[in-house]
Structure 1
Amino acid sequence: MTETIQTAFDRLASDLRNIVQDHPIVFLLSPGNWGDSIIREGAEQFFLHYGFKYHTVIAKDVMKKRTTMEAEIAKSGHPAPVVVCNGNGAFCGHYDTPQITAQLTQHFQTAVMLPSTIDMDLSQLTFAPEMHFFVRDRFESQAQLPDAPFCHDMAFFLKLVAPEPRKEVGYFLRQDREAPKGLVVPRGNFDVSKKGRIYTPIQGFVDAISPYKTVHTNRLHIGIVATLLGRETYIYANDYFKIRAIFDSSISPFFPNATFNTVFVPPKVRKRFFS
């Protein structure tokens, strides 16, 4: 982590401590893919580093009635724990995560949303009585919530190491609902984020990316992992401002090995000539 990024996390820890005080944390994981697990891992390392007491609850377990929020509150050992929600990019029109998150925070007096992208009017949702948001970009999300403090995506708290890369170029492009229209992916493309969930350990994710000297992706957390590993990283836009805004807020100022482009242009396929 660069000193400036570390300073931002120090400030986040101070803000969170002022909110939480001596209450334990119920760490809520909303539905997500393997890339969201990178955020989760960064958040958990953050809690451990700064000495926050917490236990984790998977939102899907509550929705599927495998547990209840009442049981999780009791498990905390405190009558009024604070729910802290994992940061994400789901506060947009693509997902039902905002509704699920709002509903589950209502079991608590105080709730915190770790640094997230916000691309919707939150006034239509009912959260905990004391709801605190942090945003992970200084642009559209900050404009949507002017009073919300900025901090970098929790993935930037990670210290990642991997062997030196031996392969030349890896393509990790998404083709789902956040993919830009008309995207053409090259042969050998591997959308690794789909291969795990928010609770999947991250080592396999890192191991899929780290062998490549150069990485092309329109997945935010593939781009962040490749950048943190020091790879030559080309990050492309998704279908809304999320990636570009985070690139400008947290990658461009600190990591010269990463480049942002609006449109991915697939490599030309070499013609084979047979005699």
Structure 2
Amino acid sequence: MVPNVIRIGCCGFPVSRKRYIKEFNVVELQNTFYNLPSREWCRMLHDSLPQGFEITIKAWQAVTHPPTSPTWRRMRSKPRGELSNYGYLKYTRENIDALTEIVERARILGAGIIVFQIPSSMPCDKESLENVDRFFKEAINIAGGDVKLGWEPRGECSRRREVLELIKENGLIHVVDPFKAMPVSLPGGVAYFRLHGIGGEVNYRYRYSDGDLMELYKLITKLNPRVAYVMFNNVYMFEDALRFKKLVESMKT
């Protein structure tokens, strides 16, 4: 059985935008993680893309990563307030204010999904998960029905039963690498995969083999979501995504 829709793309533009949109109809923006983009930039990008091209975004690191994270060094303008209240999906005024800004940018971009990827260093104790639960409940209220929220837990959190239950209870998209885990739920029939390479939690220099791509197709077919987002996030993402696109097309004939 062929899934209803498989949307294939990359995490970021690995080639020129013009070349990319000739091949794919979806991209997960990565610059939105390092810095909160201006409203003007979001409008400009939205207006420059062809009708039917879809954007998803990786959430600004201010809400997912603590100020001690090396990735904060790439942040051009630090957020307002007490910096220690940022990151790890804490339920704080600072995080919620940053979240509100993220959702606003998503709406301007026309993005239907925001991906929250936490670092593997995030604590996974009771207090932390209570914070995460309150954060996502507030996030759902802010996002409304037009912007969906996906969570990619990593490290210890990716294996905790309490985390998986939290994802299901809040109706979050469970963002996973399908070669490591499968989603615990499909809210609205949506599956969202981010492929970081095989071997370790991430292996960005991995090049997917033809056998890997066929296995990926079979995993998606068995899951049978209404829509499957397949976003490559390795050094060879453009080439691998293109090969997977051709494989999927060949299975329809």
Decide: shared fold, TM above 0.5: no
Determine which structure has the larger helix proportion and give its number.
2
Relative contact order higher in (CA < 8 Å, ≥ 6 apart): 2
User: How does the TM-score come out when normalised to structure 2?
Assistant: 0.35
Q: TM-score, normalised by structure 1?
A: 0.33
Q: Give the greater-gyration-radius structure (CA).
A: 1
